[in-house]
Structure formats: structure tokens, C-alpha cells
Amino acid sequence: MPTSIDFPKQLTFDEEFVEEADLRPYYWVNQSNILINMKQNLSITERRIIFALVSLVQPDDTDFKTYTIQIKELANLIGVAEGSFYKRIEEAVDGLQSKQLIFEHGEGNKRIVDKITWVQRATYMHGQGIIRIKLSEDLAQYLLDLKTYTKYQLFNVLQLKSEYSWRIYELLKEREPWSKRIIKVSELREKLNIPDDKLTLMKNFKKVVLDKAQQEIEEKTDIRFDYEVHKKIGRRIDSFIFYIYKNTKNQLKQISPEAADYDIQQLLNLLITKKVRKDKAIEFVKKYHPRYIEDNLRYAMKMDVMENLAGYIVKAIEGNFAESEYKAEEAEASLYRLVIGNYESNISELTKRNLDGITEVYDYYEKLMLYEKPSTKEEINELVQQRELSLLKRIDQYQEYRREKNLPPLTLDDFEGTKFKHFFEKWELKNSLPF
């Protein structure tokens, strides 16, 4: 009796855990607010490399992959000069492996200090111009399966020349879509890793750190800010208040069909993985600006709703619980409408092809039952088990393809009215188990 239907070539064990990186400046960086507020001591080149890697992490990833990256492509993305980029990239990655994130909590003899490295492993393939690199597993809690997080697109920070500007940008983005943040001077100095003996005069601190960041962030990113003294203790400035605004001119400048397509993909994936019905998710991206949806999605996730999170997300978006002010400019809105129209058509066609492929497997075993006519209970059970394994394997393949292409997964709604809906329910159950 045949053992199974033929399937496309499977990946080897090693290939399953190594992925060739496709770096793009419009990819999203998603990170925990805890990570945002940790003390960090990266150079600007190290920062560009590590967050280019972070931008490859998808919201639904459950662990970190090892990425194969063309060093020339990485150098072009982060702006390293052509002549020395191999050496400079290697030196920067070596620096990342030696530097630590330090997170302290508690006091006295109950004080706890966590020290976390950025990069777990890096392999340089000299002569091929390739680096194989993996983020430290200790970063997983700050980058995977996030409920409260800060996000921004990579192009907003890659052009920044000051690590202070980058860090201030992140600290202000954490308050988006809210409009202000109060930060103590001592806290800000610690987060920016400024030694106690450096920039001790406030006029120098303002000029080198705050004023430069204000100018650079407005010139190159999607936000701008003003600041003023919030509190003084005697004559000493204790804290500043930062007022945060959208920087519309830069938002529109960065929109392209490719970036809009990626944006829509990411947003639909996130909604669907939170169990929002696919038709409802598509309705939202047709109706609302992506940042409006994102603001309300983040609001809903912060509420830590234990039951029917999807229902609460829908209510938050429809009711604008986050009080988001994002509205699409006409040129931007037209582009998103075009993208979602093409996207919806393509997804529908892909889903039809996937269901046809699953039907092919199902019908194959139906024919075996008819023509082979298994006579014993054992033969029947074996054929039934083979059919189930083959169907689950085919669903696995389609879901993995969709994940790799940043396309929304197949959902139970797609299987309504089919004769193999219960097999998808088994697939969902198998993939929801913690082992």
C-alpha cells in the first residue's frame, strides 16, 4: 500500500534554522519598552547592525533564526563606505559580541543585575563576502511575542549620525501616540550612557545632546520634538518635559508602493494572529490608516484582556479607544487603497490554490480507499492515519510559505464548507500545544 503522496523537496535540518536575510530600510523594528529603557553602550555602527537584525524578527516568530547576510548589502543599508566595509562590519560585530545590556532592579542585598549579550554567534565566510549571525537568545523576552512595545521603521534611524539622537528618538517613540514625556536629567544621562565626568555643564549637555538630537530627529525621522525645563531643585535642572509631534513631511517622503505593501502585510498578519477574522482585518485596512489601526491595536494589547482579545481589538479600532490622530493624506490614502486592492485579490487567489492543493491530498486517499479496498481494520486505520499526516503536512507547508513571504496564514474561516475542516482544527490544536 502506498505510504504517502509525493511532496515538494523538504528543507534539511540545517536549512530550517538558517535564513538568507533580505534587508530593507522600511522593515519595522519592534522591541519591548523594557529594552528601550535599558542602559545601552553601542556605537552608531553597532546600533545600525543590531537593529537591522532586529527588523528581520517577525511579530509571530517564536524563536530567533540564524541569518545569512551579504556583507556588502548590509554595508550599503547602514551606510558604511565601500572601501573598508568588510573590516568595519567584522569589527562592529565583534564589538556587539563583547558588549552587554545591563538591567538592574531591587536594592541592597536583594539587588539583581542581569547582563545580556546582543549577539549569540557570528560566522565570517571570508572569500564569499557573507556573515552568518544570530541574536542572543537572552533577547527573546524583549523582542518576541510582545504585548507592550515600541516600534518604528528602520529608515527613520539609519541616517542618524549620533547615538544620542537615536536613543532619544526611541525614548520619545515609546510615548507614541501620546504627546509628551517627562525625563529626569539623571535618568536620561544613564539611559544615554553618558559618564558622570562628561558633559557636566548643562549648556554643553543641551548643545551636544538635546539640541543636536532635536535638529537631527526633525530632519530625518517621522517625529519632531520641543523641550523645556520641567522641574528645578534650587538652581539645578532636575527634569525636562518633551513635547512630541508627528513629522508629516518625512512620513510622506518615505512612502512607496513596496513599503506600503510590506506595511499592509505586517498589519494584516498581526491582526489575524490575534484571532481577528480575516474579512474584518481586510475591512479595517481598507477603511483606516495603518498607524490608526496600530495605535488602537497596541492600546488593546496593553489592557491585558484575558478573554476574547480579538473582540476587544475590534471594538478598540472601531471606537478609536487610543484616540489616534492618524489620518491618511490623500496621496498616501490612494496608495494604500491600491495596495490593499491588489493584495486582497492576490491573497484570495493564493488561498484558492492552497485549498485546491489540500483537496488534492484528500481526494488521493479517498481514491485509495475506493480502489485499494483495504479489508482489515488495521489497513483501514493505517490509511486513515496516513491521510491525516499527509493533510497536516500539506497545511504545514502552506503556512510556512505564507510566514516566509509575510502573508496572512490560513485560518479556520478559509475552511468553512470544506470536507476537511476538522483536519485544520486538528492542525490548529497541534500547533497550539506547548510542546
**332-369 confidence digits (pLDDT tens):** 666 777 777 777 788 889 999 999 999 999 999 888 88
242 domain-assigned: yes
252 domain-assigned: no
23 domain-assigned: yes
Among the listed residues 260, 256, 272, the one whose alpha carbon sits nearest the alpha carbon of residue 58: 272
Same-domain check for residues 46 and 96: yes
Same-domain check for residues 97 and 212: no
Same-domain check for residues 102 and 154: yes
Same-domain check for residues 15 and 138: yes
Looking at residue 15, its pLDDT comes to 42
Looking at residue 10, its pLDDT comes to 37
Same-domain check for residues 191 and 236: yes
Instruction: Over range 38-45, report the average pLDDT.
Output: 90
**Model confidence over 76-133: pLDDT tens digits?**
888 877 667 888 888 889 989 888 888 777 777 778 888 889 999 998 888 888 999 9
C-alpha cell of residue 224: 519632531
Looking at residue 329, its pLDDT comes to 55
60 domain-assigned: yes
CB-count exposure of residue 75 (10 Å: 0-12, 13-18, 19+): buried
Same-domain check for residues 289 and 387: yes
Looking at residue 178, its pLDDT comes to 67
51 domain-assigned: yes
Q: How confident is the model at residue 330 (pLDDT cuts 50, 70, 90)?
A: low
Q: Indicate the range of 95-109, 137-151, 303-317 predicted with least confidence.
A: 95-109
Q: What are phi and psi of 155, to 5 degrees?
A: -60, -20
Residue 127 makes CB contacts below 8 A (sequence gap 6+) with none
What's the mean pLDDT when you consider all of the chain?
A: 85
**Model confidence over 388-399: pLDDT tens digits?**
999 999 999 999
Contact predicate 88/170, CB 8 Å: no
Q: How confident is the model at residue 53 (pLDDT cuts 50, 70, 90)?
A: very high
Residue 14 makes CB contacts below 8 A (sequence gap 6+) with none
Domain closes at, from 113, 137, 158? 158
With 80 as the cut, is the pLDDT of residue 8 above it?
A: no
With 50 as the cut, is the pLDDT of residue 17 above it?
A: yes
Looking at residue 200, its pLDDT comes to 93
Count of Cβ atoms closer than 10 Å to residue 397 Cβ: 15
Same-domain check for residues 121 and 148: yes
Same-domain check for residues 110 and 191: no
Looking at residue 213, its pLDDT comes to 97
Looking at residue 14, its pLDDT comes to 42
Domain closes at, from 113, 132, 158? 158
Is pTM beyond 0.95? Reply is: no
Contact predicate 313/276, CB 8 Å: yes
With 90 as the cut, is the pLDDT of residue 11 above it?
A: no
CATH number of the domain where residue 211 is located: 1.10.10.10
Distance CA 347, CA 401 (A): 13
Domain closes at, from 194, 224, 247? 247
Residue 80: give the domain boundaries: 1-158
Q: How confident is the model at residue 60 (pLDDT cuts 50, 70, 90)?
A: low
Q: Give the number of domains in the chain.
A: 3
Same-domain check for residues 41 and 2: yes
With 50 as the cut, is the pLDDT of residue 7 above it?
A: no
With 60 as the cut, is the pLDDT of residue 328 above it?
A: no
Contact predicate 295/326, CB 8 Å: yes
Same-domain check for residues 325 and 406: yes
Strands 18-20, 66-70: pairing kind: parallel
170 domain-assigned: yes
Same-domain check for residues 11 and 141: yes
Query: Could you write out the three-class secondary structure of the chain?
Result: CCCCCCCCCCCCHHHHCEEECCCCCCCEEEEEHHHHCCECCCCHHHHHHHHHHHCCCCCCCCCCCEEEEEHHHHHHHHCCCHHHHHHHHHHHHHHHHHCEEEEEECCHHHCEEEEEECEEEEEEECCCCEEEEEECHHHHHHHCCCCCEEEEECHHHHCCCCHHHHHHHHHHHCCCCCCEEEEEHHHHHHHCCCCCCCCCCHHHHHHHHHHHHHHHHHHHCCEEEEEEEEEEECCEEEEEEEEEEECHHHHHHCCCHHHHHHHHHHHHHHHHHCCCCHHHHHHHHHHCCHHHHHHHHHHHHHCCCCCCHHHHHHHHHHHCCCCCCCCCCHHHHHHHHHHHHHHHHHHHHHHHHHHHHHHHHHHHHHHHHHHHCCCCHHHHHHHHHHHHHHHHHHHHHHHHHHHHCCCCCCCHHHHCCCCCHHHHHHHHHHHHCCC
Q: What are phi and psi of 18, to 5 degrees?
A: -125, 130
Same-domain check for residues 320 and 182: no
Q: How confident is the model at residue 187 (pLDDT cuts 50, 70, 90)?
A: very high
Looking at residue 334, its pLDDT comes to 66
% of the chain beyond a pLDDT of 70 = 91
